[in-house]
Amino acid sequence: MDSDDMRDADWAIVEVLSHGRNNAPNIAEETDYSKQYIRERLKRLSDEGIVINIGSGIYELVSEEVPERD
């Protein structure tokens, strides 16, 4: 995934996860996106290797996989 494919919600997720592991409900609350939409974006980011689901719905950022922001 390159930066052109990243949505605003993706960047918001990256920002939240840059401060540590978190789950979809907390990320949704911090970013003002719906839980469902955050879950969808986390799935996409996980498929691209930018985040990892470490279990029990907790996600961790893979910093080296985050594209440079234009």
pLDDT, tens only, 21-40: 999 999 999 999 999 999 99
pLDDT at 3: 80
pLDDT at 4: 84
Angle between helix axes 35-47 and 8-17 (nearest 10 degrees) is 80
**pTM for this model (two decimals):** 0.94
Using CA atoms, how far apart are residues 29 and 35, in angstroms rounded to an integer? 8
* More confident site: 68 or 15: 15
% of residues, the chain, pLDDT over 90: 89
Sheet of 51-55, strands arranged across: 22-23, 58-61, 51-55
pLDDT at 29: 98
